[in-house]
Amino acid sequence: METVQRKKFTASSWLLLVLFAILAVLMLFPLYALFLASLKPASELFRYGLNVRLDFDVMSLDNYRSIFTGKGEAGHYFEWYSNSVIITVLFTLLSLLLSSMVGYGLGMYRFKGRNLIFTLVLIVMMIPVEIILLPLYKLTVSLKLINTVWGVILPFMVAPLPIFFFRQFALGLPKDFMDAGRIDGCTEFGIFFRIMVPLMAPAYGAITILQAMNSWNNFLWPLIVLRTTDKFTLPIGLASFVTPLGSNYEALIAGAVLAILPILILFLFFQRYFIEGLTVGGVKG
């Protein structure tokens, strides 16, 4: 994945390299510590706290084994895993398509009510979800969405944060492309999908990983909507390992590592798209 031009390795390049190397170590350190902890028995954690001691005598895969052999709640792990994957994939695809349309509409066009709708977007973004939990729950019940994947996805699918982001991104898009498209006989939606979507590729990259991550880690709303153990998502399942009356720390820590894995793999796999951006075509008008 590295395409660095060796010839340009100047003094400032070295400086940047050192700076970012330090940063990278700091950023990865907690995860490394978590990973080490997942290999140790909980009593080790209780006595010494989260540490980075490498002590091969106490390290083993036992914690993972307890998840895979499925004692009690830990046995539902794979069910929760696949529920989380389904919800994340559906939610991300839908919210990406719909919120980019809305954001683009708000950013590109001047129309009556635009500011009102934008204000509503901000309101939806800023409502503390805790205060609408009860009415939203009643609503979801009456729409017969309780304990379903759609109950988790639909209410938050047209997501305000990505709308806002796409709107801001669209503000920077060149308007002359739009006129050019119209002259070529494109419809408004044609302009959006044919010309603007490729131009917004970096925004799609950023929002994809962001929405996927939010959905993967979402806790409160799925908890309220989903009612049976077999429908739970990973974060809910993981949290139930820690109860005030007897916690299963081993399963929690190992489970936490396994929870990061899929999203990490997804990320590493697609990081070229997310990070490098999908700068197809160009803005070099």
- Of residues 187-206, which lie at the interface with other proteins (CB under 8 A)? 187-190, 192-194, 197, 199, 202-206
58 near other proteins (CB under 8 A): no
Write down the least CB distance from residue 61 to other proteins, Å.
19
Tokens, residue 217: 């880690």
Write down the least CB distance from residue 193 to other proteins, Å.
4
Write down the least CB distance from residue 67 to other proteins, Å.
14
Q: Which of 65, 78, 279, 281 binds other proteins (CB under 8 A)?
A: 279
183 near other proteins (CB under 8 A): no
61 near other proteins (CB under 8 A): no
18 by Cβ neighbours in 10 Å (0-12 / 13-18 / 19+) ranks as exposed
7 near other proteins (CB under 8 A): no
65 or 227: whose CB is closer to other proteins? 227
Contact predicate 199/281, CB 8 Å: yes
Contact predicate 197/69, CB 8 Å: no
Considering only residues 246-275, where is the footprint of other proteins by CB under 8 A? 246, 248-249, 252-253, 256, 259-260, 263-264, 267-268, 271-275
65 or 168: whose CB is closer to other proteins? 168
Q: Which of 55, 115, 184, 281 binds other proteins (CB under 8 A)?
A: 115
61 or 132: whose CB is closer to other proteins? 132
177 near other proteins (CB under 8 A): no
Tokens, residue 98: 């719909």
For residue 53, how many other CB atoms are within 10 A of its CB? 11
Contact predicate 232/80, CB 8 Å: yes
Contact predicate 95/158, CB 8 Å: yes
64 near other proteins (CB under 8 A): no
Which runs of consecutive H residues, i.e. helices, occur in 143-248?
A: 149-153, 160-171, 175-183, 188-190, 197-199, 201-217, 220-225, 234-239
**Per-residue 3-state assignment (H helix, E strand, C coil) for 37-81:** HHCCCHHHHHHHCCCCCCCCCCCCCHHHHHHHCCCHHHHHHHHHH
Contact predicate 154/225, CB 8 Å: no
Considering only residues 80-109, where is the footprint of other proteins by CB under 8 A? 92-94, 96-99, 101-102, 104-109
* 131: phi then psi, degrees, rounded to nearest 5: -80, -15
Q: How far apart are the first and last CA of the chain?
A: 29
Q: Which of 59, 158, 177, 180 binds other proteins (CB under 8 A)?
A: 158
Site string for other proteins, 208-237 (x = CB under 8 A): xxx--x--xx-xx--xx--xxx-----xx-
Question: With the C-alpha atoms ordered 88, 134, 126, 122, is the resulting torsion angle positive or negative?
Answer: positive
Q: Which of 17, 58, 61, 82 binds other proteins (CB under 8 A)?
A: 17
Write down the least CB distance from residue 139 to other proteins, Å.
6
Q: Which of 39, 67, 157, 254 binds other proteins (CB under 8 A)?
A: 157
